[in-house]
Structure 1
Amino acid sequence: TKVVAPFDAYVSNVTVDEGRLVNPNDHIARLSDASSYEIRFNLSDSEYGSLLSTQSDIVGQPVYALWKIGNKELPFEGKVKYVGATIDTSIRGVDVIANVTSVGTAPIRGGAFVEVVMQGNTFDNVASLPEDALFIDNKNGEIVYVITNNRLESRPVKSVMRAGGRVLISDGITQGEKVLTTRFEEIADGVLVNVP
């Protein structure tokens, strides 16, 4: 008897040999669809929250994946298929699964590690600062320290996103102002600082 899959596939986990008798419920192999793949990646709480701050869902969003193999880079395109039901506390993020169908004749196989790029929100008129520049004050909430005449001055600010060790500030500072980015114990209003 010849068994033929109804789609092009890669065969793995073969459990039978030629000539062996099989029953209707026997698993004989695992088939992986050769025309599409699922890519599983993780978004941190803040990245996921930032995406949801301007839209109700990310399902259907475009995803770009890059598989680096040797000295070649093979790009793939897809869309977010679904988002995990819970936030994984061990990685402080949510699982996202994207379906990639632009595989073509690429030799990619299941289990390959790919770099995933997903378009985030666009913010206008924001300052990108290291997270260490942002302080929490019991009275004013989020603050930064600007440097005026070599002295620190606390300034309430509004952050709109944190990612990759950076924080985006939308209100509270103006272009050209110097902001303290190095923490030290004596930080307070009026403290004299040396600006290189």
Structure 2
Amino acid sequence: AGIRETADQVEKIGVERSRSAAMAADLVLLVIEATTGWSAGDQEIYQQVQERPVILVINKTDLASDKSESTLCYPNTIEQVVKTAAAYHQGIDALEKAILDAVNRGNLQAADLDLAINQRQAAALTRAKISLEQVQETIAQELPLDFWTIDLRGAIQALGEITGEEVTESVLDRIFSRFCIGK
């Protein structure tokens, strides 16, 4: 459900859940339509969430004329703006990049959780991240599965150090049982 005024009782429940989720979110994706632009309702929602990182997603750009798109007015305090035509998967890569950039900037609140990690856990998270980035690179290069499984194992083992789960050969066997590769 979007966040809007409605007379329908069931929809009101969905709207309230959406509003609560937005207020508790670490990152808010505020989606507006390129054809209708920024509304008073959008402004009200933005005022409620503007203390959080916000990415403005202007969707349905495929339906908007160049003129209507160029006259969209929205607060200049919104730093991240991404234009999409989600029905045609246009702009989705840019949206993913904007989300990853927000995460990598490190200014997300982590859902206001009381969280503390020690140096060993931080190092394990860093190793897991590096391993996953290497997996992503190897997949992008379309290398055989044998190449990326090593890095994937490294990420799993690093995360296992944090969770306390022992990553045994049997766990790895289950993970890799879907692939015809050597260990």
Structure with greater contact order relative to length (CA < 8 Å, sep ≥ 6)? 1
Larger radius of gyration: 1
Indicate the TM-score class for this superposition, using the shorter chain for normalisation: under 0.3
Structure number having the greater helix percentage: 2
| TM norm structure 2 | 0.21
